[in-house]
Amino acid sequence: MDDGQFRRFEIKLLVASVIIGGISAIISSALGLYGVYLGSEAIRQTERLESLKIRPLLVNEYRSNSLERWGLYTKNIGYGPARIKSVTIGYKDEGGETLWLRYGDGETADGISLYDFLGLTGINDHIRQLSVQEKTDRAVYVNWPWLGAHYGPNEEFSLINFPDEDYTSPEWQATFGETAKSRLRSLCLGIEYESLDGTVLSNLSDSRKCAELDMSDATRVN
């Protein structure tokens, strides 16, 4: 090998070493970045798992059996408490008109009768002369999901519930029975709530019924 060939060989070795060094640096940087990604992803997954440990889950249930009062109940089946942020209630009346009630943070439903809104005014008039226990058995109850209220795991509340038919008279059934059942069948309840970590969640009593009522038309109460 003459001097020229040897010189060219040296240059090729130098170029190869530079290329190999560059590739090694790139691989090293990529591995470093991948390690950072894996670390941050592990942190995110840990945070997600920790969040799920305190995440509430409100579900609405229609109940109708002889073991309890029939109606619309909401229960927290999640792992953490739920703070109520806003409530939307809607239904179609006998004339087919959609009626809405919505209130959110900073608002209250004070002064608004849920009985009146649901068209159930006077539905408990028949129990006025009854004993306390009889009133408890025979009354219709409607309740606001109060804003800011916290419902812990396994806690529940009912928006509306009715006595078993065994506790109501034929006169009551004739006057209020069908109206009560109609309200329950068409009722849309939407609740927005917040977990301990500030995550905002929502639920619907029946997505099909709520879609039929078109929640986009809902207006705030005040």
Mean pLDDT of successive 10-residue stretches along the chain, which has 222 residues:
58 62 70 67 57 79 69 90 89 77 68 79 79 79 84 89 76 76 80 90 75 59 42
Q: How many domains are contained in the chain?
A: 2
**Predicted pLDDT of residue 81:** 93
16 and 2 share one domain: yes
Threshold 0.75, pTM exceeds: no
Q: Are residues 62 and 150 in the same domain?
A: yes
- pLDDT in the model for residue 12: 60
Considering the domain architecture, whether residues 68 and 43 belong to the same structural domain is answered as no
- Pair 213, 157 in one domain: yes
What's the length of the chain?
Answer: 222
Choosing from 28, 53, 78, the residue where a domain stops is 53
Domain with 28, as residue range(s), is 1-53
Do residues 167 and 193 both lie within one domain? yes
Q: Which two tokens stand for residue 108?
A: 């209250």
Separation of alpha carbons 62 and 204, rounded Å: 12
Statement to judge: residues 48 and 8 lie in one domain: yes
Q: Are residues 125 and 24 in the same domain?
A: no
Question: Do residues 111 and 164 share a domain?
Answer: yes
Whole-number pLDDT of residue 155: 92
Does residue 130 lie within any of the structural domains?
yes
Q: Are residues 1 and 14 in the same domain?
A: yes
The whole-number pLDDT of residue 89 equals 85
- pLDDT value at position 151? 92
Report pLDDT digits (tens) over 129-141: 778 777 777 788 8
Tens of pLDDT, residue by residue over 5-51, are 556 655 666 656 656 666 776 777 766 776 666 666 655 655 554 55
Structural domain contains residue 222:
no
Separation in Å, CA 185 to CA 25, 64, 158, 206: 68, 11, 15, 10
Distance between terminal CA atoms of the chain?
96
- Rounded Cα distance between 10 and 77, Å, is 74
pLDDT the model gives residue 70: 80
- Residue 8 pLDDT: 61
- Same structural domain for residues 37 and 96? no
Gap between the Cα atoms of 91 and 100, Å rounded? 7
